[in-house]
Structure 1
Amino acid sequence: MTPNGIDSRWLGLAIFIIVCLGAGGLGAIATTPEIEGWYKTIEKPSWNPPGWIFGPIWTTLYLMMAVAAWLVWKPEGFKAATTPLTLFAVQLLLNVAWSWIFFGMHQPGWAFVEIVILWSAIVATMAAFFRCSKIAGWLMAPYLAWGSFASVLNFTIWRMNT
């Protein structure tokens, strides 16, 4: 318990949620202004999802990531989960960086290189999470699936616009 009576485990969950949604917000700073600008002008495949779907999907994924990280942290804290939580932080930073490279810098080619690295970091994080908590590992699965789809979409957009 904290001095004000809040169970520190729940405070930890709140912090993970804030961090993950905050990462989404940082990515949105680069993304949002470009949706009606640059992104609207480039070629995209017919199977490109409609714009309205990205907000609900990413919000859900960030919340699932937060819960997964919390489940890894909760039993014994950061010291006991240093490797999986470091991998988690790395993939979260790469997640933000992709938005800035693709949307902010208008560089689909470099964004594809970066998303391959991001995808690898998600796989490594998922594997480390599975060793700590099966539920945490499975909570990362939809993110890996969406990351796989996003990688193919990124590659296709890059090739269509070169």
Structure 2
Amino acid sequence: MTGRLLGDLDTSAPDRSLSPASRAKDMPRASELTDAAASTGGWSPVAALGLVGLVLGASALVGRRNAPDRTHPTIRRWYQRLDKPDITPPDAVFGAVWPALEVGLAVGGYRLLRRPSSARRDVAVALWLGNSAMIGGWSELFFRRKRLGASAAASGAMLASGAALVATAARVDRTAAVTAMPYVGWLGFATLLAERIRRDNPARGR
């Protein structure tokens, strides 16, 4: 009886269901985990567009408030009386360049927000928000408060922060980094210009 029971057991084929090879086969591959992670964590298109729109709107309001145009005659007269170097572009160039640069930053910001959440992505987003805020802060310092020294220093800080944005964004989304490069290039020129204006107008601002 015992022999018959033992004989009914199939001992010729070992159970492979718990073998290391079987368990490894059933485990998800690293690429599958990466793909799953990449599909989560980013902002939705609506939320990302909403934040980008708020940033652009706030920047436009601050810039409009400090614009040296005919709607702000006091600011306009002060700016026209400054001693400016020959490399200073016409007012129309400033009016065209800055909106284009800010739109480029906004495109990069949208792409960063849509990327999966990570420490590196979050730093890049913070740098984008910081640079967007500093654009308005610079116009407040220069045009409204007439702080030539402070605005020149702020321009240098923006240049460093913009370069950090490009370097950080390049490791998250290369297109976002590319969209910020014109901003950094222009800031190099703007910082030189702000320093020349500060130096040539010692009595007109600090």
Question: Shorter-chain TM-score category?
Answer: 0.7 to 0.9
Asked if residue 82 in structure 1 is aligned to residue 126 in structure 2, the reply is no
Sort the Cα spacing of 1:31 and 1:111 in 2 relative to 1 into closer, same or farther, 3 A.
same
Residue correspondence of structure 1 range 60-99 to structure 2 within 5 A = 60-76=100-116, 81-99=121-139
Residue correspondence of structure 1 range 50-129 to structure 2 within 5 A = 50-76=90-116, 81-129=121-169
User: Aligned equivalents of 1:103 and 1:59: distance in 2?
Assistant: 17
Q: What do you get for the CA RMSD once the two structures are aligned?
A: 2.1
> Cα offset for 1:103?
0.9
- The one-character-per-residue Cα deviations of 1:74-111 (angstroms, maximum 9, x if unpaired) are 12258873211111122222221111111111111111
Greater shift in the superposed pair: 53-62 or 33-42: 33-42
Which residue of 88, 95, 119 corresponds with 1:48?
A: 88
Q: Is the 8 A contact 1:31 1:100 kept in 2?
A: no
User: Aligned equivalents of 1:10 and 1:147: distance in 2?
Assistant: 31
SS of alignment partner, residue 140 of structure 1: helix
User: Aligned equivalents of 1:63 and 1:11: distance in 2?
Assistant: 17
User: Aligned equivalents of 1:107 and 1:28: distance in 2?
Assistant: 18
User: Aligned equivalents of 2:99 and 2:131: distance in 1?
Assistant: 16
User: Aligned equivalents of 1:130 and 1:35: distance in 2?
Assistant: 39
Asked if residue 23 in structure 1 is aligned to residue 59 in structure 2, the reply is yes
Note the residue ranges of structure 2 that are not aligned, 5 or more in a row. Answer: 1-43
1:4 alignment partner in structure 2? none
TM-score normalized with structure 1 length: 0.86
User: Aligned equivalents of 2:53 and 2:177: distance in 1?
Assistant: 17
User: Aligned equivalents of 2:55 and 2:117: distance in 1?
Assistant: 16
> Cα offset for 1:18?
3.8
Greater shift in the superposed pair: 104-113 or 77-86: 77-86
1:13 alignment partner in structure 2? 49
**4+ residue stretches of structure 1 with deviation over 4 A?**
77-80
Q: Is the 8 A contact 1:16 1:66 kept in 2?
A: yes
More helix by share: 1
Sort the Cα spacing of 1:119 and 1:80 in 2 relative to 1 into closer, same or farther, 3 A.
closer
Asked if residue 151 in structure 1 is aligned to residue 194 in structure 2, the reply is no
- The one-character-per-residue Cα deviations of 1:26-73 (angstroms, maximum 9, x if unpaired) are 133123325522101111111210001112211111111000011111
Aligned residues: 156
Q: Is the 8 A contact 2:121 2:169 kept in 1?
A: no
Greater shift in the superposed pair: 30-39 or 106-115: 30-39
2:76 alignment partner in structure 1? 36
Q: Is the 8 A contact 1:68 1:136 kept in 2?
A: yes
More RCO (CA 8 Å, sep 6+)? 1
Q: Is the 8 A contact 1:64 1:140 kept in 2?
A: yes
Q: Is the 8 A contact 1:129 1:137 kept in 2?
A: yes
